[in-house]
Amino acid sequence: MKSKRLYGTVAGMVLFGLTMTGNLLRAQQHHWNIAVQGGVGTIANTFEGYDEMLASSHYPIADVRIGYQTNENDRLYAELYGYPNVGFSFGWMGLSTLQYAGDSHLGSVVNMSGFFESDFLRTKRFSIGIDGQIGFGLTKVIHDSNYNPLNTTVSSPLLIFARAGLKAKFRFTERLELGADVHIEHCSTGYLSCPNRGLNGSGVGLSLRYYNMPPPRIKFQPESWPKVRRFYGEVYVGGGLHRSLTEWEVFGTSTPWPIYTAGGNINFRYIPQFSTGLNLDLYLSDCGYLKRVEEFERVLYGDEAVDAYGHYDAFSCGLSLLLQFYYGNFTVFGNLGFYVHKHAGLHDQEGLCYQRVGMKFNFPKLEGLFLAIDCKAHKFAHASMMEFTVGKKI
């Protein structure tokens, strides 16, 4: 029953994406483009059991993209980003084609994501730019303690999918374009289930795109750029769910526990598209969660190690560098931080460096109010939790 519900949800998401794409193409018939991509990915050795499970590390990649080419008739932010190409991507990662050393294995991942391509160098026919994707993935093969024990990368069929890279393109006719890219990619459950070692990889690919319009005319009019505040601050509150890896290692199951978050930052916006800042991050775990972690770690590491570790504290805080990129009412942000205070257990204590990547939607008519979602991670590889926050510019 759960599988039917999951597949029904994913089918609904795909149908929604296709419907939105169809509406866009009908409204802007001359702006659409379509691309087919193929390439090869390589799994990074970032999870336990990698050497025991895998006998090869390369897998095929395929994508179909339906895009909208912005042009000089679109809003000012399109001009600021060099008239980006945006749209939906439907892809496949052929992990089932890998060679495996035993019975444990990974499953292929199909994904649906939004993409954003923006050039930072462009001539009449040649261009180089960034290429980013974020969305959802689906796989049939997940962790099973009896039949698939070494697959600790994912434990849920529904995944978070992200990819980022550089792409070079050559437009050999007015409507046809060849592309080549190099990228990194990530799939995980966002710690909404456990185990969640996550799948990290890199890859290269080639693409062929057909445009239904000639390339946009690049123009820059600094006097028309939106006026923005140079210095500003933000405050926010929110929370998320975290699962204990130590609980899973002891019992083979894990319980979702709430973690409450709050914080604030101060930013300097150099140009309308970009700002940097300093962020204060505050976290408060459920006290019952810390008591359970101590119990689990006494089983895993022994009383002597736990007694030497000392007090388990539900409160932690950190300072992070903040990067933000703006496009109209949307903001994409990333944090690189270090804990000033953290005493959440022997296992979690190893992750004194943390990262956050997320997106905000700003409500222009609500005096700076915004909603945000982000994924918090440790060691640039393992998700800690999904955070949902509401905040305000000050």
Residues 143, 201 share a domain: yes
pLDDT of residue 82: 81
In a domain, 221, yes or no: no
The last residue of a domain, from among 211, 244, 263: 211
pLDDT of residue 296: 85
CA angle 317, 322, 326 (to 5 degrees): 140
Using one digit for the tens of pLDDT, what is the confidence trace for 88-101?
Answer: 999 999 999 999 98
In a domain, 347, yes or no: yes
In a domain, 216, yes or no: no
pLDDT of residue 221: 55
Mean pLDDT for back-to-back runs of 10 residues, the chain (394 residues): 54 59 56 93 79 89 92 74 90 94 90 92 89 93 87 88 95 93 91 83 96 68 65 95 80 85 95 93 88 85 83 92 92 95 79 90 90 88 87 93
pLDDT of residue 7: 55
**Phi, psi of 131, rounded to the nearest 5 degrees:** -140, 115
Paired strand residues for 372: 360, 389
Residue 144 is classified by DSSP as: B
Residues 256, 202 share a domain: no
pLDDT of residue 235: 97
Chain centre to alpha carbon of residue 29: 30
Residues 305, 364 share a domain: yes
Asked if 378 contacts 356 with a C-beta cutoff of 8 angstroms, the reply is: no
Residue 96 is classified by DSSP as: G
Residue positions counted in the chain:
394
Query: Which two three-digit tokens encode residue 269?
Result: 């916006």
The last residue of a domain, from among 211, 246, 274: 211
Name the nearest CA neighbour of 254 among 103, 104, 385, 388.
Answer: 385
Distance CA 228, CA 328 (A): 12
Distance CA 166, CA 179 (A): 10
Residues 259, 370 share a domain: yes
pLDDT of residue 37: 96
Asked if 18 contacts 172 with a C-beta cutoff of 8 angstroms, the reply is: no
Q: Which domain holds residue 260?
A: 226-393
In a domain, 233, yes or no: yes
Q: Which residues contact 166 (CB under 8 A, 6 or more apart)?
A: 128, 129, 130, 131, 181, 182, 183
pLDDT of residue 145: 84
Residues 129, 272 share a domain: no
Distance CA 125, CA 361 (A): 35
C-alpha dihedral sign at 326, 382, 206, 61 = negative
Residues 134, 22 share a domain: yes
Number of domains in the chain: 2
pLDDT of residue 325: 93
The H or E element that residue 309 is part of is: helix 303-309
Residues 205, 238 share a domain: no
pTM, 2 dp: 0.82
Which amino acid belongs to residue 250?
A: V
In a domain, 220, yes or no: no
Residue 295: CB atoms within 10 Å? 13
Residues 205, 253 share a domain: no
Residues 205, 298 share a domain: no
Distance CA 384, CA 283 (A): 12
- Strand bridging mode 330-341 / 158-170: unpaired
Q: What separation, in Å, do the N-terminal and C-terminal C-alpha atoms of the chain show? A: 47
The last residue of a domain, from among 153, 178, 211: 211
pLDDT of residue 154: 85
CATH of the domain at 387: 2.40.160
Distance CA 297, CA 305 (A): 9
Residues 285, 181 share a domain: no
Using one digit for the tens of pLDDT, what is the confidence trace for 241-259?
Answer: 888 777 887 777 788 889 9
Strand locations in the chain, DSSP E?
32-43, 58-69, 85-93, 109-122, 126-138, 158-170, 176-188, 199-211, 231-243, 256-271, 274-285, 315-327, 330-341, 353-363, 369-378, 382-393
Residues 340, 270 share a domain: yes
Residues 231, 187 share a domain: no
